[in-house]
Copies of this chain bind each other. A is one copy, B any other.
Amino acid sequence: MNPSSPLEQNLDPQNWDAMRALGHRMVDDMMTYLETLRERPVWQPMADEAREFLHQPPPMTPTTPEAVYAEFTENILPYPLGNIHPRFWGWVIGTGTPMGALAEMLAATMNPNLGGGDHAANQVELQVIEWFKTLFDFPAEASGILTSGGSMANTLGLTVARNIAAEFDIRHEGLSAAPRTMRFYASTEAHSSVKKAAEMLGLGSDHLRLIPVDENFEMIIPELEKAIAEDRAAGYYPFAVVGNAGTVNTGAVDDLEAIADICQREKLWFHVDGAFGALVALSPELKPMVKGMERADSLAFDLHKWLYIPIEVGCVLVRREPDHFNAFATRASYLASHERGAAGGTHWFSDYGIQLSRGFRALKVWMSVREHGIEKYGQVIAQNVAQTAYLAQLVDAALELERLAPVPMNIVCFRYVVPGMDDEALNTFNKELLMRLHESGVALPTYTVLKGKYVIRVAHVNHRSRREDFDLLVETVVKIGNELKEAMGVGA
């Protein structure tokens, strides 16, 4: 019939071999970039030229792929956040792996949409979820979905909790129809994403009641029981409790067994935020730390933190699949599944979350877990915990340093102390010290505030770190602190 118009164009390479050659160069450069990480600073400020280069009007005309790649290597690649480096322990950010990066290229080549349909990618995600159900002792009837990370995993888990627990048809009627105001509970150390979820879901952050913690930063269980009783008496409708498996500030684990018992007795949904902490369950020796996690109604955790997978990938497991499905499923006419063909498949992930189009993040997890095996992940996680304990020893042994929290897992909070200096001055001092440490490029912890005290915080989910890296951290912190003290003419 009608021949293809000679003017028809597409976005594929004009020269496939040139694109292959460019791909080879990229692979070589990226592998060398990762192999030589130790030789470079953890972080460096962006050069003005690079910053300016990224302020241009929209490009209207083409640039060769080779030239675009050169722009990338010149202006972007030299200025990473630093979290791939062996001496990065900031916030809680994983490192990634070479195989994980290559897997992303494979995933983006196939470029499937995991919202639904009958194709291999959905089976890969189901497989990954089955693995974590098994590893975390969840029952066969549990379901799960991979997410962008822990924030979304918490949000989805709490959405299920809210929708299933509500006394009324919340999906249709909305929260303004609630006969009683819904409330849920977490410790004061809960992650900011739990508060954000309370706001997003229309519950209101005032109705996320924060329970005080003890000296180990763990939820005080009798305070939880008291709060629930008070709220019931005041006419609120308690519906869920969030337990921490590894708090972001100090790595504390709430008494999950006790919370599970209370939830069972009070008929509340038990959500566990195990963003990084859940992963200690992969180490047989550390698994007892998160005892009770397996009783959660929903469990949120990240794979881009302590499973060292490239960002983004998290996961939420839900104990009973129908709860999960009933919280989200909605099929428009253009989404009805078919018995056969590409629109087949019995499990459509779009029924288990917010996203309809979903990428193939499962592949990097699947390939990485196949590559290393769960035993090795458990060993490296245990190594991280042992290295963290080692750092705590170093801090305790250093006269200039003060540790400000217990070290139950993988986080050390400490500060440089100057005798006679009050907390406010020490806060300013340590913040300046930390900024200088970043600028040195030697190591990159970040910070938090514990009981009004600004602390340098090492959160360790880095497979590349060695004990010598922590030696260098402590040496450098003490050195910068001493210099700063001298420059200020104090305490000398």
Q: Quick one: given A8-B467, A126-B54, A151-B356, are A119 and B46 in contact (CB under 8 Å)? A: yes
Whether B101 pairs with A108 at a CB distance below 8 angstroms is yes
Q: Whole-angstrom distance from the CB of A106 to the nearest CB of chain B?
A: 6
A265 within 8 Å of B by Cβ? no
Kindly report how many copies of this chain are found in the complex they form together.
Answer: 2
Say whether A43 faces chain B, with CB atoms less than 8 Å apart: yes
Tell me whether A176 and B173 are in contact in the complex, defined as CB-CB below 8 angstroms, given that A334-B446, A340-B435, A467-B2 are known contacts.
Answer: no
B149 touches A357 (CB 8 A): yes
Closest CB in chain B relative to A164 CB, distance in Å: 13
A81-124 interface bits toward B, Cβ cutoff 8 Å, 1 = contact, 0 = none: 11110000011011111111111111111111101011111011
Instruction: For the complex, give the distance between the alpha carbons of A28 and B102 in Å.
Output: 13
Contact for A79 among B65, B108, B119, CB less than 8 A: B119
Q: Is A423 an interface residue (CB 8 A)?
A: no
Q: Mark A240-279, 1 if CB is under 8 A from B, else 0.
A: 0000000011000000000000000000000000000000
- List of B residues within 8 angstroms of A83 by Cβ: 111-113
- The size bracket of the interface on A is 35 or more
Q: Does A127 contact B (CB under 8 A)?
A: yes
Min CB distance, A419 to chain B, in Å? 25
CB-CB < 8 A to A110: which residues of B? 76-77, 80, 84
CB distance from A334 to the nearest CB of B (A): 4
Asked if A181 and B176 sit within 8 Å, CB to CB, the answer is yes
B1 x A380 contact (CB < 8 A): no
CB-CB under 8 A from A152, the residues of chain B are 354-355
- Tell me which of A194-202, A224-232, A289-297, A399-407 binds B: A194-202
User: How close is A396's CB to chain B, nearest CB, in angstroms?
Assistant: 14
Inter-chain CA distance A178–B312, complex, in Å, is 36
A202 engages B205 (CB within 8 Å): no
A332 touches B (CB below 8 Å) = yes
A31 touches which of B10, B16, B98, B134 (Cβ 8 Å)? B16
A77-B106, A192-B330, A199-B330 known, 19 other contacts, Cβ within 8 Å: A9-B383, A11-B308, A12-B464, A26-B102, A27-B27, A34-B109, A68-B370, A77-B110, A81-B119, A82-B119, A101-B109, A108-B310, A148-B148, A148-B358, A193-B356, A200-B354, A202-B203, A249-B333, A342-B446
